[in-house]
Amino acid sequence: MTEDESVEKGDEFERYVADLFDESYFTIVQWSTDIMRKHDKFVESDTAPDLVMRYEPKDEMFCVECKFRSALYDDKLDWSNPQQLERYQDYAIEKRLPFFVVIGLGGDPSYPERMFCIPLEEARYPALFPSVFERFERDPEKNFFWKNGLLR
């Protein structure tokens, strides 16, 4: 797969995830654009998560990083690299916001076969074993639900 195809799949999956947030309850505070894809300069805002969301009824904000993977690699879910993971952890600490990694696995980015919504503190490594990520599996067709600081 070319880098352009990979970027396209990532963008498609981000749109899919964003559409699972009911606009009656959630607003998108920030949607990063990943400007670094267009050139090789470091852009600080690209270190932000894909989405910063607000749950309107309680005015609670949280972050969502979206990743689509076609398949497991060596029986693990390879979702990040060490530098990205560290940036996400730093961002969550600095902003004091709950941070979730939403991963689509298999199928199409606009209709994944499986989906996981993993709190960042549970996604401690760039590649996760099924014993970790499968605990956070969710129906990829259902809207997201926010309760007591957890995204499901």
CA distance 7 to 121: 26
CA distance 105 to 85: 19
Residue 46 has a pLDDT of: 59
CA distance 12 to 71: 17
- Report DSSP state, residue 88: H
Q: What is the pLDDT along the chain (152 residues), one digit of tens a residue?
A: 677 788 889 999 999 999 999 999 999 999 987 644 555 655 655 568 999 999 999 999 999 999 999 999 999 999 999 999 999 999 999 999 999 999 999 999 999 999 999 999 999 999 999 999 999 999 999 999 999 999 99
Residue 48 has a pLDDT of: 85
Count CB-CB contacts under 10 A for residue 145.
Answer: 15
- State the total domains in the chain: 1
Q: Which amino acid is at 18?
A: A
**Backbone φ and ψ of 41, nearest 5°:** -85, 145
Residue 4 has a pLDDT of: 78
Residues whose CB is less than 8 angstroms from the CB of residue 22 and which lie 6 or more positions away in sequence, other chains included = 143, 144
Residue 41 has a pLDDT of: 56
Q: What is the pTM of this model?
A: 0.91
Identify the CATH number of the domain in which residue 37 sits: 3.40.1350.10
Q: Domain of 46?
A: 3-151
